[in-house]
Structure 1
Amino acid sequence: MPNDLTRLAAAIDGTCRIRGSFTLRSGITTNEYFDKYRFEGDPDLLREVAQAMVPLLPSDTDVVGGLELGGIPIATMVSSITGLPAIFVRKEAKTHGTCKLAEGGDFTGRTVTLIEDIVTTGGAVRDAAIALRELDGIVHTVVCAIDRSEPGQNVLDQIGLSTVSILTKADLDTARRV
């Protein structure tokens, strides 16, 4: 891993890995938790993550799509850096107002690169990609800050979606030990 990514991994891990008593979504209790919103709420780390994502964007990207909730601040920053328009993709369409799944500009017939903070199984990204495709968006790539998926767990390739990440869980674990 290049030195700048090693330093970024150490900064994210040092900011986000917290100790205490935590109950995970699965119901398991653990003494360690990775609070991803800590790097997204830190303007310097958020900017570094977004800058590291920019070269990973496919060249045909017309729009960046931030997934609710964690992908939205990153997509906003990537949009600001690149000048690409952004959309903000909900987990499900609103039932009031415009009743939209994706807020922001028009993405019909345009290539949307999805932006996510962490991918573990890819389920939420898969659902968003399928929904955007049904609305005539072209979606073939998700760029994430951290890929935590275990071998065989990421379902995105099953729908023709490539996953590109800045860091992996292994990178964070290695940075913690350094």
Structure 2
Amino acid sequence: MTDDRAALAAEIDSLCRLNGQFTLRSGLVVGEYFDKYRFEAEPQLLRRVAEAMVPLLPEDTQALGGLELGGIPIATMISSLTGLPARFIRKEAKTYGTRRLAEGGDLDGLRVTLIEDIVTTGGAVRNAAVALRGLGAEVDTVVCAIDRSEPCANRLHEVGVATRSVLTKQDLDAVRVG
């Protein structure tokens, strides 16, 4: 890991890794929790993460697809840095208003690179890729800030989606401060 990546990992880890008593979605109670929204809420850190993601974008990207909720601020920042248009991808289409799955413009015929904060199992990315393909988008890559997937847990390759990440869980664990 380069010094820049190690410094970024250390800063994210120290800000986001919390100790206490936390109940996970599964109901399991744990003594440590990684609050990913903390790095997204800090403008300078968010910018550094987005800057590290820019070189990972496929050259033929025509639009960024920020996944609800955590991918949206990152996609917005990357859009600002690159000039690429952003689309905001919901987990499911609204039942009111425009009733759209993707907000911000059409996707038909565009090569869309999905933007996510953290990939753990890839389930949300998989669902988004399949749905966006149904809307006519070409989707084959997700760029994420952190790949926290365990070996063989991220099965996005099975639906033709490659994962590119700035950091991994191993990177965060390597710089763990406490």
Normalised to the residue count of structure 1, the TM-score between the two structures is 0.98
The whole-number CA distance in structure 2 between the counterparts of 1:150 and 1:32 is: 17
Verify the 8 A CA contact 2:14 2:177 in the aligned structure 1. Answer: no
Partner in structure 1 of residue 138 of structure 2: 138
Partner in structure 2 of residue 76 of structure 1: 76
Does the residue aligned with 1:126 lie in a helix, a strand or coil? helix
Amino acid of the structure 1 residue aligned with 2:55: P
The whole-number CA distance in structure 2 between the counterparts of 1:107 and 1:92 is: 16
1:92 to 2:92 alignment: yes
Amino acid of the structure 2 residue aligned with 1:51: E
The whole-number CA distance in structure 1 between the counterparts of 2:172 and 2:76 is: 24
The whole-number CA distance in structure 2 between the counterparts of 1:155 and 1:127 is: 12
The whole-number CA distance in structure 1 between the counterparts of 2:58 and 2:177 is: 33
Partner in structure 1 of residue 152 of structure 2: 152
Q: 1:48-59 alignment to 2 at 5 Å?
A: 48-59=48-59
Q: 1:98-117 alignment to 2 at 5 Å?
A: 98-117=98-117
Amino acid of the structure 1 residue aligned with 2:105: G
CA RMSD in angstroms comes to 1.0
Q: Deviations over 1:28-71 (max 9, x none)?
A: 11111000000000001100000000000000100001000000
Partner in structure 1 of residue 42 of structure 2: 42
Verify the 8 A CA contact 2:108 2:136 in the aligned structure 1. Answer: yes
Amino acid of the structure 2 residue aligned with 1:117: D
Does the residue aligned with 2:48 lie in a helix, a strand or coil? helix
Q: CA deviation at 1:177?
A: 4.9
Does the residue aligned with 2:26 lie in a helix, a strand or coil? coil
Normalised to the residue count of structure 2, the TM-score between the two structures is 0.98
The whole-number CA distance in structure 2 between the counterparts of 1:97 and 1:28 is: 37
Matched residues, number: 178
Q: Unpaired segments of 5 or more residues in structure 1? A: none
Partner in structure 1 of residue 60 of structure 2: 60
Moved beyond 3 Å, runs of 4+: none
Amino acid of the structure 2 residue aligned with 1:112: V
The whole-number CA distance in structure 2 between the counterparts of 1:168 and 1:141 is: 17
Partner in structure 2 of residue 22 of structure 1: 22
Q: CA deviation at 1:136?
A: 0.1
Does the residue aligned with 2:176 lie in a helix, a strand or coil? helix
Does the residue aligned with 1:26 lie in a helix, a strand or coil? coil
The whole-number CA distance in structure 2 between the counterparts of 1:80 and 1:175 is: 30
1:171 to 2:171 alignment: yes
